[in-house]
Amino acid sequence: MAQISVDQENKTSWMIILAGLIVILSLVAYYVLASQTIWVRLAALLGGFAVAFIVAAVSSDGKRFFAYTKESVAEAKKVVWPSRKETTQMTFIVFAFVVIMSLFLWATDKLIEWLVFSIFLGWK
């Protein structure tokens, strides 16, 4: 039983490697066909990508990837987005916090500057 899963895993690895080689060959074909029209070059490139996609999709890793993608889309559909009013309110809260924090940091900086330069160093 373990031998079958190892063979299947090796087959999947080779299929992914084959898909990668097909992508590389389609890129090479695109540049080798530089004297041809753009449509011939794009057909070679996109055709190679399509074949590589199909080879990768029929592997077990590819099937798992597509199952994961389907589940991710299903989960994304479950997301409850805030209403326009809630979004506007939260935006104003964030802006108010930023203004208050910037004023606090400015005041702290000026206090430390006054303490260091006027009190400790006596420069002013």
- One digit per residue, the tens of pLDDT, for the chain of length 124 reads 445 555 555 666 788 889 899 999 999 999 999 999 999 999 999 999 999 999 888 888 888 888 999 999 999 999 999 999 999 999 999 999 999 999 999 999 999 999 999 888 888 6
Cβ–Cβ under 8 Å, residues 47 and 23? no
The pTM of the full predicted model, rounded to 2 decimals, is 0.50
CA angle 59, 65, 68 (to 5 degrees): 145
pLDDT of residue 1: 47
Q: How far apart are the first and last CA of the chain?
A: 84
Q: Where are the alpha helices (H) located in the chain, listed in sequence order?
A: 2-32, 38-58, 60-77, 84-114
pLDDT of residue 14: 86
Cβ–Cβ under 8 Å, residues 33 and 49? no
Cβ–Cβ under 8 Å, residues 52 and 20? yes
